[in-house]
Structure 1
Amino acid sequence: MSLSDSAAHNEVFEVINGAGRGGALILCEHASHHIPSRYSDLGLAEADRHSHAAWDPGARAVAIALSQALDSPLVASSVSRLVYDCNRPPEVASAMPEKSELIEVPGNKGLSAEQRQERVQTVYQPFCDAVARVIADRQTAGLETAIVTIHSFTPVYYGVHRPVEIGILHDSDSRFADAMLAQAPALPQRRVERNTPYGPEDGVTHSLQLHGIKNGLANVMIEVRNDLLRNTAEEAQMTDELLTLLRPALAVLQPKGETGA
């Protein structure tokens, strides 16, 4: 199935609205808590397999809604980030973490070089290749593309409450983040902050670097506190709020291009 079709899916990634002509390419690296059977649940208890350590609750639903609203492609991982975190390069330990906050991951302890490489080749590389193909297809079609990665975060981390509600993250290219943050006063009910609760120093901007900066594409990472995404109504409300920031930002970045409906 071509990535230009409306949907493409396999065990490790899915492409939704691949033929969308809007101005964004949306990524969701932590969309799923699925652990392929060959990894024996990584030795995790069921509660841990469905916790925020294994995925970003609400992120996929918001990413799909943004894809529809902006008529833009979405590439989402279909594998838990505890198997391989597609927002991390292969050489870092956090790509296949032995521990996530307070959760030990037995199936990631003492991995051999061969075991790590198997996950790189079967989870990370196919996801990255899918993103690269969508970018190439859009370039061939003459479409403007800005990278938007969608994540959610836990409101309490190591026992500390996080007051920020929407984080707008960037690496060395802050164009997209600047344009979105300029719209933050339009959401007076929300606490919107730059590079919070994470920033480049935390190693979370790999996708921005790899798919955005290296291709000369404007890019931004959006983090939403997951207690604001507890049900479909809250996911829809947050989607609308994010569009309040995204649409004007895309219009600034691509004044003559397609920004979506």
Structure 2
Amino acid sequence: MTENPDFPTLLRMIDERSAAFRAAITAAPRLDADVPSCPGWTLYDLANHLSEGDRFWAHIVRNTAPGDERPTKDGLAAPTERGELMAWLADSTEQLLAALREVGPDRSCWAWWEPLASPHTVAAVARRRVPESMIHTYDAQLASGDPRELPTTEALDAAEEFLATVGTVTVPWPGEPATMDYHATEGRSWRQTVDAAGSRFTRLTPAEATLSKPTAALHGTASEPALLMYMRIPADAVRTEGDAGLLQRLQNWG
């Protein structure tokens, strides 16, 4: 079974996805263009959000421990002139990468998610920042009318990381127990189970993926499960089997 990306690979992915985000912002005709997938935001707002997040998590991995109060952001806004904004974005990414390299993957830190399938460690923070940059790159491309498929390796891990970090909780599921399977054509499958104990996931073997009988199942390219989980494309964009309304109920619950 394929292993999750190691720490050096995660750092490389952050660097590459952040560079792709800057390229999308550079290519955009206007910074005040609306971002359809982030209602109420312009491209500048999107850039400010991503750079703020990079700086925020750089502070977290250096200065916090599990159980600390939620840290505050520095309150600094990105510059609005395009050239200065590009430099600001690059510096924000470097601040994050420098902090991750300096502290290393095993250190514990504050995090907002339940430490069940995704621990409160620097490695988990690095893994979380990859889809953050990647999905927002898609948002920026969409705002310019040029959305592209997510890169395969990053997309596969983004789907699993979402299930581990966002989709694993102890909050009781309000409906009947259910299972949702996600199948990527590149050979990765997962099952999300929801019931009174909350939500959890498992990665399915090829045999399990073939024989499984879930409440519902979605089939798509590597890019599509990740985009679905982040609500960037509708459920009817991919082939669905079983209870077609389960994904919407999961998204409403989250």
User: How would you bin the TM-score normalised by the shorter chain?
Assistant: under 0.3
TM-score (norm 2): 0.27
Larger strand proportion of the pair: 1
Ranked by relative contact order (alpha carbons within 8 Å, sequence separation 6 or more), the top structure is 1
For the pair shown, the structure with the greater C-alpha radius of gyration is 2
